Amino acid sequence: MGTVVALTGQVGGAKLVDGLYRLRGRDLAALVNTGDDYEFLGLLFSPDLDTVLYTLAGIANPASGWEPTGESRALHAMLKLLGGPDRVVVGDKSLAAPLLRTALLAEGSSLTEVTRHFCRHLGIEAKVLPMTDDPVRTHVLTDDGAIAFHEYFNELGCEPVAQGLQYAGVDQAMIPQEVADVLDDPDLEAVVICPANPYHSIRPILEVPGMRELIRKRGAPVIAVTPIVGGKALKGSAGKMMRELGHEASARRVALEYLRLIDGFVIDTEDAASAEDLRASGIEVLIANTVMRTAEDRNALARAVLAFAQAIRARRLQEA
């Protein structure tokens, strides 16, 4: 068995990463979106990184997915009392990672190094890798101009109509050596694009210069899992955003977003009818239960995805 690299963002992505981690342990590398990162009260918040860390460490609140279990809000209440901002509500536990991250970055560590430090102490054996150590900030283009994603999401509740997205800083972003190493591994077995919003969770990763080429470099099967089931996002604003950008909100449309990058696409049993259409576009399709309600759901989907990649690889060898 070789290395599996999972591109991820949001809670849905972290759930599949968790399923893959239970199967592969230290042979898994999560390549995590940092386009949703933001500064608040002088601290660097990396929501997608923290969601993966909490999930793999087994301390994520199963109800929300993105914060530690048993979260409290004592600091936030005191902050309000002192006349601080009351909008972005940050839990006491959830503030620890941004606080320590900001302090370690100020001391000269890279985001990759800080994340490795967190993994080691949380007992996470998989590699959790930021897509870049450079600042990339996703902006949603609206009638009121470009809005930073965290503001669009946290403060505006995804209300404004999205006309497009911009990934500020991505042109200057470098691929960290650790990311290059896992994608250039001769033992690379599969690249999995986890179920997450294609526009603000996955696309920023792909936009880092050289990333698409690196993903395809070793020729390992690239498999994407739909974040859309029955025309709706399981969580988050993917469906709304797709429609606003002029597309149908469908698994098929997500697959088209990844055209020329992926070898296989996983749709939900609920959308089985669209399989033929996708296959006609030259994409191999797996129909599976993509809705991860339980830990077993995560493991089952992870197993199915890796078996799918294995089948694609076997068929290729046969054809060659």
314 touching a copy of itself, by CB under 8 A: no
Residue partners of 92: CB distance under 8 A and separation at least 6: 71, 72, 73, 74, 75, 76
- Under the binding rule (CB under 8 A), the answer on residue 219 touching a copy of itself is no
Quote the least distance from Cβ 128 to a copy of itself, whole Å: 13
d(CA 263, CA 260): 8
- Judged by CB under 8 A, the residue of 58, 62, 89, 120 near a copy of itself is 120
Among 83, 108, 145, 282, binds a copy of itself (CB under 8 A): 83
CA dihedral sign of residues 208, 212, 217, 218: positive
Amino acid type, 153: F
Of these, 23, 99, 161, 291, which contacts a copy of itself (CB under 8 A)?
Answer: 99
Among 84, 164, 219, 230, binds a copy of itself (CB under 8 A): 84
Distance CA 75, CA 93 (A): 10
Specify the 3-state DSSP secondary structure of 191: strand
280 binds a copy of itself (CB under 8 A): no
65: tokens are 């997915």
How do 43-45 and 38-40 pair as beta strands? antiparallel
Shortest Å distance, C-beta 156 to a copy of itself: 22
Q: Which of 2, 23, 61, 95 binds a copy of itself (CB under 8 A)?
A: 95
Contact pick of 118, 152, 153, 308 for a copy of itself (by CB under 8 A): 118
DSSP state of 42: T
Q: How far is the CB of 151 from a copy of itself (least distance, A)?
A: 17
The reply to whether 273 sits near a copy of itself by the rule CB under 8 A is: no
Map the footprint of a copy of itself across residues 122-151, applying CB under 8 A.
Answer: 122
Position 77 contacts a copy of itself (CB under 8 A) = yes
- Residue 242 is classified by DSSP as H
Q: List the x/- string, 16-55, binding to a copy of itself by CB under 8 A.
A: -------------------------xxx------------
Nearer to a copy of itself by Cβ, of 42 and 157: the residue is 42
Strand partners, 39: 44
First and final C-alpha spacing in the chain: 21
Contact 140, 165 (CB under 8 A): yes
User: Could you give the CA distance from residue 232 to residue 202 in angstroms, rounded to a whole number?
Assistant: 18
Residue 75 within binding range of a copy of itself, rule CB under 8 A: yes
Q: For residue 68, state whether it binds a copy of itself (rule: CB under 8 A).
A: yes
- Angle at which helices 295-319 and 10-24 cross, to 10°: 70
Assess contact for 45 and 37: CB atoms under 8 A.
yes
Nearer to a copy of itself, 111 or 286 (CB): 111
List residues binding a copy of itself (CB under 8 A): 41-43, 59, 68, 70-72, 74-79, 81-84, 91-93, 95-97, 99-100, 102-103, 106, 117-118, 120-122
